[in-house]
Amino acid sequence: MAAPGMGFRRLGALSGAGALGLATYGAHGAQFPDAYGKELYGKANQYHFLHSLALLGVPACRKPLWAGLLLVSGTTLFCTSFYYQGLTGNSSIQPLAPVGGSLLILGWLAMAL
């Protein structure tokens, strides 16, 4: 039987592949509305990579389900809002970023339990 949280390891690997694809798109294909958009996109990509790596360690923690769910949902909300604003210049979903950031903090704390 697989250890609890092993699905999060696979998800982390897939997320890392996605982050690399988005980094490539940002470097070679994206049309940013301005320099700030490019900066936001790059910041989203850094956090996306970092938290993809964090997901690889989720099976080793004592609360893998909590840690994994918090990290996945936090990464999704935080990075998506920055990717979107960076590409479009539209800040309408930017209020999701602090929610996502809070979930990321809670995910790291869950890994420490």
- pLDDT score recorded for residue 2: 65
Q: What is the pLDDT of residues 84-107, one digit of tens each?
A: 999 999 999 999 999 999 999 999
pTM to 2 decimals? 0.92
C-beta separation of 67 from 97 below 8 A: no
The secondary structure of the chain in percent helix, strand, coil, rounded to multiples of 5, reads: 80, 0, 20
Q: Taking the CA atoms of 65, 68, 69 and 71 in sequence, report the sign of the dihedral they define.
A: positive
1 has a pLDDT exceeding 50: no
pLDDT of residue 59: 94
- pLDDT > 90: what percent of the chain? 92
Q: Is the pLDDT of residue 68 over 70?
A: yes
